Structure 1
Amino acid sequence: NNPTLKEKLLKIKEDAHFKNEFYISQGKDNLDINLYNTTGGGIYKNPLEELKEKLELYNHKYYLYPVLYFYGFGNGILYKILLQNKNHQKIVIFEPNISLLFALFNAIDFSKELSSLTILDPCEKNFFYDLSFLSQTEPYFKFLRVYFLDIHSEFYEQNYQENILKINKKFTGLIKDIFMKQGNDPEDGLIGIKHNLKHLSSMLSNSSLLDLIKARKDKMQNAIIVSTGPSLIKQLPLLKKYASKASIFCADSSYTILAKHGIKPDYVLSTERVLATSKFFDNDFKEFDQGILFILSILTHPQTLNFIQSNPYRKYILTPKDMFFNNFQFKQILSLGQGHSVAHMCYDLALMLNHKNIILIGQD
């Protein structure tokens, strides 16, 4: 479940000149496995005693935890035993020594455990991006509130203390950001649920994003995303000149401005759930709206949808919001990423339709 790590291990295997900096020492007991660095020092002082201490801790204090996080893979025996507990669904491990993993995977069979292990290299440049992405998937997201980072052994604490502190600090910050994106206002959340349920039938009875992608993916190379920053007015003449050479993705607040200047967007997107946003659609531009596709978050205010539906020229798609829609298992419904602003929503759609060149204007 980590293609980058797999590729690194394969490169080591193919490298005829590779000399591993770690070697394995096997004691009389099958679990008495230590790894020594060629520059000196072992992963453990006493492998069996340290394994026993960790298992006692986890069986006593963390027996019911579905997701566990460790810095250091060590000899991997701890994870083999922990995964015998069916409560532990996933174990995430940060291991900076690829050569250590290579030595272990060639000596010990982890094939049964690999589907439950997520091993990330904290030295990889995309490490925090991968960690953030992973954290927003299940089952990791569901149990982020009980996150803690354990250090596998004293070896890792002594040699990687700075990196451990950096990861823990940044990851706890990421967790806070992820929760904030889900909303921190219960009343606002209830409004979203109410709108979601009210618009569900309209969403299911209309075209979907999947239909749009099937029809229009790869049809246009260029995309222009139009927001309403102060610079927009200065850019309108240039936009009008090149409108036919690109797909125009328009934020709801830019829609009336483009209509007044005779620039027809291909898509008008809206994500807010407040009544004030509805006013962007309280107008009648008649035939101008023909051919424009209005793409709204299912959380949109009911008045927004009323205004859209009152105009026979307006065609629309409602898209689900993940946090409200995860419990509905509609296979033909595709969610559109709805980030901090409607411009993020436009950008996500432009990517889905495989535009190669994406230009943002008015996003000051």
Structure 2
Amino acid sequence: MEDQKKNSLLDDDLSLEELAKNFDNIDINDLEKIQDLAKLQQQMNDFLIDRFATNIESFKKYMPDIGKFFEHYKPKRTIEFFCMPNGIPNLYFPDTNDFFYKTADPFKLCEQQIVQILERSNILQTRYGHESDPYGQLHFKYLNTLVTLGEEIERDRTLSPLKIGSVPNCMFFGIGLGYSLAYLYERVEVANLIIVEPDLDVFYASLHAFDWQNLLKFLFENKYAINIMLGQTPFQFTQDLSNFYSKHGRFLSSSWLGIVHYASPEIKAIADVAMRDLDSVHAAMGFFDDHLFGASHACHALLDKKNFVLRHQTLDKKYSKLPVFVIGSGPSLDNDIPFIRKNQDKAIIVACGTAIDTLYHAGIKPDFYACTERTPEIREALGVIPDEHFLDDVILLTGDVIHPYTTALFKHTAIFGKIDEPFYKYALATIKETRKVGFVQLMNPLVGNMGVSGALFLGFKNIYMFGLDNGKKIDSSAMHSKYTTLYNEHGCSDQGGSYTTKQQGKGNFGGLVETGYFFALSARNMGYVIRNLEEERGKLNCINCSDGLYVENTTPMHSYDLDFKKFKNIDKEAFHKYINEVKTSPVKVTRKELEEIFNPEVFKEIVNKVIEKLKARPKTRLETILMMQDISEFLCGIELQPQLYFYGSSLQGSLQTYFIVASRVLYNSSDEKQCLEQCFKMFEVISEFLEEAQTIFKHMPDFVIGEHRKFYPDGKVGIDYPLCKAPVLPPKFHLRRAEYDDPQKVFEKRYE
């Protein structure tokens, strides 16, 4: 949740065009008069040449890639500098007969824009509420304590960046000639500046007009961060933004000020992406207990000799072009059941999560069962299928975080390394045999993501999506197919939580649909992974037949418009044999090897260094932001060392979440001293977390979710600390709340 008084990114009143109406305009007649100012123009030209040379040398020193690129850059279009009698350089585009700053005094125009943005905007910040803890985890124990501390200082929603005097993170869209930067830094301190300029010609022009030399010197001497993104598409912007925050701290993406200096179609597109996707940088980061669970589960899968997807075993061409039905249990699936029944032998079928329940009761046999969750309740969800042999030839398609209870139900598995979890990369660096394991990206947040990503990373190129609604029709109550007994008969709730639909989004077949945060993130990740793999591997054919939320990079199409007469039946037995014996394999790893890579003493040494850094007591908000940034960069440095990667990465999710709460409290009130004192108390709580984290790390690699309760024998989540008391362990969670005598005791395949 973000607090927002006014978002300058969307405020037309603060655009250059609107603000310029308050100043003396210039037109082509003024330019003709300027021809008489030959001496002044010559002086300006000499100044521009000297400034460009000075700026290029500064960029070569501080940001060499930019300096080298622009040293001999040739603009793509004709640009001319001119000045009015005040001598301020402005830009003229002869091809379009247009001026960059449509006023005689660009300085005053830029100054007014910056002042008004700083006066009228808020620093946008993410707010965490109290989180329920279904399993008993240290992360939530300490997060909830921090949230309570944050609530002790009432938030002043009238505070502007100008009143506060500092900004933790500023995203500046469209640099123009750079003049606005001087006025920004005159009025506020900025810990992190991200400049986005899609137009290389404009940035080249700024190298002639603005004093980059002194700005860069100031920023680097004071250890303020600057990241300049040039010539990027919205897709590239998203990738680079994530890389920046990964290095300096993802918590920064939760506290930011956005400034659009000038608005071109390219800048508007990127600003829209920032508003839509910035939350995803710090969403679903995972947390400490979760990472230990995931790593322990991966170790169990290795030791249990489960099959993993082989990295260098490219999917045979005779299979890669086969149609693949990736099926979720969204309500629109009911419309497509007849088509899927009829053509189930002509396609590889991936059942995502509870869709396996749906397909069982609809008479459709899946080839794969896609599972995202590492939780033990998946065993319960699969238990709704009464035919004990139904799963015998179904292949579990999942990531290595999957719970041992789930893998135990399947004779055949295709397990990927989950690349955004700490264990996979760490295993590659420390255990040679694991290097044969392939990885999957963006298998979260929902099971449909595992289905789509899993199919694509296996190597399939023709994907058909059914029932991946990521929401529901407006005013409809149904969240799942009518064939799904887990929700319809066994009493499992599909309301609230990740099923919350308080937003509206673009429908796959037009109009709007009800959706929610996790659904929208799921659709975003599906579109993103398709785009990513298309850039890497070439064109993919992804047809979305789901009557739900639109997914980018897919083609909407109803199942009744699909022509499958040309497709032949697939030899499923041969296909399964290929997947089970060629595409996947167990990995030879010993328990001793796994125990050796989790060293409690190494973990303790790293943790103690972070605790020591948390003892610092900066004097200002900005210094405190930089302190948290320093810790984030320290852990990033640990992650860059392959032999230490897990130790740093396993801490990042929880610490970044805690820093989000701490950075928010820094901007709750105009009373800087009060905010700092509360933030420092939070640092003490975080230090307690780090102390207690060591007590569960020593149980690796046997920290299995659910079974971990045995490490808390007194029935509490850990022990009491001075600022954070141990809550009682929650009762064991159960999905199924009602008994149901399923009449479909044995699976029957149906084609009608």
1:214 to 290, 309, 314: 314
Contact 2:171/2:256, CA 8 A, preserved across alignment: yes
1:196 to 271, 294, 297: 294
Cα distance in 1 for partners of 2:313, 2:180 equals 46
Contact 2:419/2:425, CA 8 A, preserved across alignment: no
Match of 1:19 in 2: 78
Match of 1:289 in 2: 392
CA RMSD of aligned residues (A): 4.9
Say whether 1:118 aligns with 2:258: no
Contact 2:325/2:464, CA 8 A, preserved across alignment: yes
Instruction: Give, in angstroms, the shift of residue 195 of structure 1.
Output: 2.4
Match of 2:46 in 1: none
Instruction: Give, in angstroms, the shift of residue 202 of structure 1.
Output: 4.2
User: Structure 1's 215 and 207: CA in aligned 2 closer, same or farther, altered over 3 A?
Assistant: farther
Say whether 1:136 aligns with 2:247: no
Match of 2:281 in 1: 178
SS of equivalent residue, structure 1 residue 224 = strand
Cα distance in 1 for partners of 2:424, 2:413 equals 26
Identity %: 18
User: Structure 1's 321 and 272: CA in aligned 2 closer, same or farther, altered over 3 A?
Assistant: farther
2:456 to 343, 351, 356: 351
Match of 1:258 in 2: 359
1:242-281, aligned counterparts within 5 Å?
242-259=343-360, 262-281=363-382
Cα distance in 2 for partners of 1:279, 1:212 equals 35
Cα distance in 2 for partners of 1:348, 1:355 equals 11
Contact 2:443/2:454, CA 8 A, preserved across alignment: no
Cα distance in 2 for partners of 1:243, 1:190 equals 42
1:77-156, aligned counterparts within 5 Å?
92-95=194-197, 97-101=199-203, 103=205, 117-120=228-231, 127=234, 129-137=235-243, 139-140=245-246, 142-146=248-252, 148-149=256-257
- Greater relative contact order: 1 or 2 (C-alpha under 8 angstroms, separation 6 or more)? 2
Cα distance in 2 for partners of 1:256, 1:289 equals 15
User: Structure 1's 279 and 216: CA in aligned 2 closer, same or farther, altered over 3 A?
Assistant: farther
Instruction: Give, in angstroms, the shift of residue 318 of structure 1.
Output: 4.6
Letter in 1 for 2:243: T
Aligned length: 295
Say whether 1:36 aligns with 2:94: no
Instruction: Give, in angstroms, the shift of residue 294 of structure 1.
Output: 0.7
Instruction: Give, in angstroms, the shift of residue 256 of structure 1.
Output: 3.8
Runs of at least 5 residues in structure 1 that lack an aligned partner in the other structure: 1-5, 26-32, 46-60, 80-89, 184-188
User: Structure 1's 293 and 69: CA in aligned 2 closer, same or farther, altered over 3 A?
Assistant: same
User: Structure 1's 323 and 138: CA in aligned 2 closer, same or farther, altered over 3 A?
Assistant: farther
User: Structure 1's 280 and 211: CA in aligned 2 closer, same or farther, altered over 3 A?
Assistant: farther
User: Structure 1's 19 and 319: CA in aligned 2 closer, same or farther, altered over 3 A?
Assistant: same
Cα distance in 2 for partners of 1:258, 1:170 equals 37
Instruction: Give, in angstroms, the shift of residue 208 of structure 1.
Output: 3.6
Contact 2:391/2:409, CA 8 A, preserved across alignment: no
Contact 1:195/1:300, CA 8 A, preserved across alignment: no
Cα distance in 2 for partners of 1:24, 1:351 equals 54
Letter in 1 for 2:91: N
User: Structure 1's 214 and 150: CA in aligned 2 closer, same or farther, altered over 3 A?
Assistant: same
TM-score by length of 1: 0.60
Instruction: Give, in angstroms, the shift of residue 69 of structure 1.
Output: 4.5
Instruction: Give, in angstroms, the shift of residue 343 of structure 1.
Output: 0.9
